Amino acid sequence: MTYSAPITDMRFVLNRVIGFDRIAGLPGYEDATPDLVDSVLEEAGKFAAEVLAPINATGDREGSKLENGVVHQPECFRAAYKRYVEAGWNGVPFEPEYGGQGLPWALAFAVQEMWQSANMAFGLCPMLNQGAVELLSEHGSPDQKEMFLAKLISGEWTGTMDLTEPSAGSDLGAVRTKAVPDGDVYRISGTKIFITYGEHDQAENIIHLVLARLPGAPAGSKGIALFIAPKFLVNPDGSLGARNDLLCTGIEHKLGINASPTAVLSYGDNGGAIGYLVGEPGRGLEYMFSMMNNARQSVGLQGLAIAERAYQQARDYAKTRIQGKDLRSPRGPSVAIINHPDVRRMLLTMKSQTEAARILCYEAGAARDIAKRHPDSEARAAAQLRIELLTPVVKSWVTDLGCEIASLGVQVHGGMGFIEETGAAQHLRDARIAPIYEGTNGIQAADLVFRKLGRDQGAAALAFIAEMKTVAAHAAGHPGDDLKTISDALYAGTIVLEQATLWMVETLKPDAVAAAAGAANYLRMFGLVTGGAMLARAASAASDDLRQRGADVDFLTGKIITARFYAEQILPQAAGLLVPITQGAGTVMALTDDQF
């Protein structure tokens, strides 16, 4: 159950596929030199492999434990988190003004992938904290930034996202938690559920970002405000004061991520928890989307990370498990199962989709950097549109892949995968939450169709498809049958995606039910074709690099073969989704409730 960060592939994606030099050249990223980036990747890889991966199974077995309102983490988690903070890992992408390292998000995404691969239950804590930092950086007052950001960026304090209630899951307009003015502060009362790391003893304070409703506020999302409610109140000098009036009354017993405490929080049992209003009343949900969209991209990274971990373990097992004869030499000795065609098919399915997902996730990180740092306002705006278009695809398609690839990992192990001792089952159990939280994947599909296509009649999506056609043409310009096959498959995929996009744009207003019925398949098609474009870019870069002196021939030819496998075996699935998208709504809605 070891983990080795795929640094060679990460470096190739950053430098040769997404073009890290264009990111490092943005204002404020002058320190992101090639030597520094290599050092960060190497040291993060060591930390993930030596500190986080060895306690993944331990945390799963021991889990989090609630005693008298306090959640106790496994001792190995507390020790690892202390080392994580002391090493400064929490501050990688944040502003130096508050103690961050000011490095690009594209690099931070690569580092974050390592944490999530090595130990997803551990990685959830800094993931939520990262979103809290971004929210307060964008929407907090100067005093709030001064009080909270430095400690959150260092990781000495951690942040949470307190949205869900028993009566308000995905429909956040139904939030009932109340916030009553009391001088300069507010008194919060209500119950929040499913709060990741809502209570724990890894850090000295927890900063809750809470959605609540003010007295007399209108119904629905317009009546929601956002508040900061620390576990321990903070004195003017920055020291910790009294315990706030909020209590963990339970933690969930879950399928996976057992060492990530999922808390039930009760606010205001003794007069009301003290909260500080963020920004303006009525804009709480708008502000919270800064954190939610950050988290959605990071959850997509979790899907990638679990896929990578499951692939590594399946690959290593397949190389050592002796079973059956080689069909190429049936009278010879028994061989490792990696020699069997179906096992190789499964491993290449895992490998190719994981590598496609990595490029997509890092591309989204690069777009974040451009949107935040580019000196040209039009370039920033275009990058922001790209982030918004890709976020539901990153979150949904990549987390679905995480589950599918972890499941294939169990299959490669055979019976040994179905027992807990090998660890393959834990990857599948841990992966299963990612398509659910931060907006279920069905909600992501609806967001892609109704918001992202609907706001501009598909202009941003069609522009992206046009770019993918250019990628296909560029690949075709390289020598060899492999690149031509990749190019042809990608171009065919863009044609069906374009057809589906135009159908969605024409349908979503006159027949919203039909558009909604096809939305999940449309998002999957979008992901499949985008993945093909990502691998075509990688194959083109690998083909160029093969002509350089001293090229790593094994690695680069492997990139091309993997991209061709995806083009032949995975990408054609996109065409099969066109009929379900455009013609499937009638049967989706045909049964009465009683017929189910």
Is residue 221's pLDDT more than 90?
no
Per-residue pLDDT, averaged over 205-230, amounts to 94
Q: Is there a single domain that holds both residue 494 and residue 560?
A: yes
Decide if 61 is inside a domain. yes
Per-residue pLDDT, averaged over 376-403, amounts to 97
Give the single-character DSSP code of 262. Answer: E
Question: In this predicted structure, what is the pLDDT of residue 282?
Answer: 92
How many domains are there within the chain?
3
Strands 157-162 and 178-182: unpaired
Question: In this predicted structure, what is the pLDDT of residue 238?
Answer: 94
Question: In this predicted structure, what is the pLDDT of residue 3?
Answer: 98
Measured torsion, CA atoms of residues 535, 538, 539, 541, in degrees rounded to the nearest 10: 160
Decide if 95 is inside a domain. yes
Identify which of 359, 306, 300, 302 has the alpha carbon closest to the alpha carbon of residue 562. 359
CATH number at residue 123: 1.10.540.10
For the stretch 275-331, pLDDT in tens is: 999 999 999 999 998 888 889 999 999 999 999 999 999 999 999 999 999 999 999
Q: Is there a single domain that holds both residue 475 and residue 564?
A: yes
Q: Is there a single domain that holds both residue 531 and residue 497?
A: yes
Q: Which residues have a catalytic role annotated?
A: 438
Question: In this predicted structure, what is the pLDDT of residue 112?
Answer: 98
- Please identify, among 104, 139, 174, the residue that sits at the C-terminal boundary of a domain: 139
Q: Which of 124-138, 210-224, 379-393, 533-547 has the lowest mean pLDDT?
A: 210-224
Q: Is there a single domain that holds both residue 477 and residue 572?
A: yes
Class of residue 443 by CB neighbours under 10 A (exposed 0-12, middle 13-18, buried 19+): middle
Decide if 129 is inside a domain. yes
Per-residue pLDDT, averaged over 39-60, amounts to 98
Radius of gyration of the chain (CA): 24
Q: Is there a single domain that holds both residue 461 and residue 571?
A: yes
* Residue whose entry in the numeric block shows the structure tokens 């490998």: 351
Q: Is there a single domain that holds both residue 133 and residue 217?
A: no
Is residue 171's pLDDT more than 80?
no
Q: Which two tokens stand for residue 515?
A: 């558009």
CA distances from 310 to 302, 317, 361 (A): 12, 11, 18
Domain ranges, residue 90 = 7-139
Decide if 288 is inside a domain. no
For the stretch 72-120, pLDDT in tens is: 999 999 999 999 999 999 999 999 999 999 999 999 999 999 999 999 9
The CA distance from 279 to 292, in Å, is 17
Measured torsion, CA atoms of residues 418, 421, 425, 427, in degrees rounded to the nearest 10: -160
**Could you give the percent of the chain with pLDDT greater than 70?**
100
Is residue 173's pLDDT more than 90?
no
For the stretch 487-497, pLDDT in tens is: 999 999 999 99
Is residue 1's pLDDT more than 90?
no
What's the first-to-final CA gap in the chain, in angstroms? 42
Which amino acid type is present at position 213?
A: R
Question: In this predicted structure, what is the pLDDT of residue 533?
Answer: 98
Question: In this predicted structure, what is the pLDDT of residue 336?
Answer: 97
**Could you give the percent of the chain with pLDDT greater than 90?**
96
Is residue 220's pLDDT more than 90?
no
- Please identify, among 253, 282, 311, the residue that sits at the C-terminal boundary of a domain: 282
Q: Is there a single domain that holds both residue 167 and residue 132?
A: no
For 480, residues 6+ apart whose C-beta sits below 8 A from its C-beta are: 543, 560
Per-residue pLDDT, averaged over 144-173, amounts to 92
Q: Is there a single domain that holds both residue 118 and residue 243?
A: no
Class of residue 510 by CB neighbours under 10 A (exposed 0-12, middle 13-18, buried 19+): exposed
**How many CA atoms, within 13 angstroms, populate the side-chain half-sphere of residue 459?**
5
Averaged confidence pLDDT in the chain: 96
Q: Is there a single domain that holds both residue 134 and residue 271?
A: no
Is residue 63's pLDDT more than 90?
yes
For the stretch 317-354, pLDDT in tens is: 999 999 999 999 999 999 999 999 999 999 999 999 99
CATH number at residue 241: 2.40.110.20
Q: Which of 14-28, 169-183, 421-435, 439-453 has the lowest mean pLDDT?
A: 169-183
Per-residue pLDDT, averaged over 19-33, amounts to 95
Q: Is there a single domain that holds both residue 512 and residue 467?
A: yes
Decide if 425 is inside a domain. no
Per-residue pLDDT, averaged over 174-196, amounts to 96
Is residue 558's pLDDT more than 80?
yes
- 43 band by pLDDT with thresholds 50, 70 and 90: very high
Per-residue pLDDT, averaged over 392-416, amounts to 98
- 395 band by pLDDT with thresholds 50, 70 and 90: very high
- Please identify, among 282, 301, 323, the residue that sits at the C-terminal boundary of a domain: 282
Q: Is there a single domain that holds both residue 221 and residue 131?
A: no
Decide if 315 is inside a domain. no
- 268 band by pLDDT with thresholds 50, 70 and 90: very high
Higher pLDDT, 212 or 293: 212
Decide if 219 is inside a domain. yes
Question: In this predicted structure, what is the pLDDT of residue 169?
Answer: 73
Question: In this predicted structure, what is the pLDDT of residue 219?
Answer: 87
Q: Is there a single domain that holds both residue 452 and residue 562?
A: yes
Decide if 352 is inside a domain. no
Question: In this predicted structure, what is the pLDDT of residue 293?
Answer: 87
Is residue 567's pLDDT more than 80?
yes
